[in-house]
Amino acid sequence: MRYAVPVYQVPTLAVAGRPDRFPVRRIYCIGRNYAAHAAETGLSVGTGTPGISLKPADSILIESILHYPPATAQLEPEIEMVAAIGAGGANITRDTALGHVFGYAVGFDMIRRDVLAECIKNQHSWDLCKSFAGASPVSALRTAAEIGHPSTGEISIRVNGELRQRGDLADMIWGVAEIISRISAYERLEPGDIVFTGTPKGPKPVAPGDRLHGSIAGVGELDLKVVR
The predicted-structure confidence for 154-174, as pLDDT tens digits, reads as follows 999 999 999 999 999 999 999
DSSP structural state of residue 177? H
Res. 45: pLDDT tops 80: no
Domain assignment present for residue 3? The answer is: no
CA–CA separation, 127 and 81 (whole Å): 21
pLDDT at site 105 = 98
- Looking at the domain assignment, is residue 31 inside a domain? yes
Q: What residue numbers bound the domain in which 84 lies? A: 12-227
136 pLDDT tier (thresholds 50, 70, 90):
very high
DSSP annotation string for 5-37: SPPPPPPEEEBTT-SSEEE---EEEEES-BHHH
Taking residue 16's Cβ as centre, other Cβ atoms within 10 Å add up to 15
Q: What is the mean pLDDT of residues 204-222?
A: 98
Is residue 2 domain-resident?
A: no
Alpha-carbon span 77 to 58, nearest angstrom = 18
Q: Tell me the DSSP string of 95-149.
A: TTGGGGEEEEEEEEEEEEHHHHHHHHHTT--SHHHH-STT-EEB--BEEHHHH--
Mean pLDDT of 25-54: 80
Q: Is 179 helix (H, G, I), strand (E, B) or coil?
A: helix
User: Is the model's pLDDT at 47 over the cut of 90?
Assistant: no
Q: Which residue from 192, 171, 195 is spatially nearest to 181, judged by alpha carbons?
A: 195
Q: Is residue 6, in this structure, part of any structural domain at all?
A: no
Q: What is the mean pLDDT of residues 23-50?
A: 79
With beta carbons less than 8 A apart as the criterion, state whether 220 and 93 touch: no
* Structural domains in the chain (count): 1
User: In the predicted model, is pLDDT for residue 44 greater than 70?
Assistant: no
- What is the average per-residue pLDDT within 144-149? 98
Listing from the earlier edge strand, what are the strands of the sheet with 101-112?
51-55, 27-31, 194-196, 75-85, 101-112, 142-143
The dihedral built from the CA positions of residue 193, 198, 202 and 204, taken in this order, carries a sign that is positive
CATH number at residue 65: 3.90.850.10
Find the mean pLDDT for residues 138-162: 98
Sorting pLDDT into bands at 50, 70 and 90, what band is 36? confident
pLDDT band at 200 (very low <50, low <70, confident <90, very high): very high
pLDDT reading at 42 higher than 90: no
The residue-averaged pLDDT of 181-210 equals 97
- Predicted TM-score (pTM) of the model is 0.96
Q: Residue 1: inside a domain, yes or no? A: no
Mean pLDDT of the chain: 95
What pLDDT does 35 receive? 81
- Judge whether 7 lies within some domain: no
Would you give the end-to-end CA distance of the chain in angstroms? 39
Mean pLDDT of 59-73: 97
Does 203 map to a domain? yes
Local structure of 2: helix, strand or coil: coil
Asked if residue 45 belongs to a domain, the reply is: yes
Question: Would you say 183 and 28 are in contact if contact means Cβ atoms under 8 Å apart?
Answer: yes
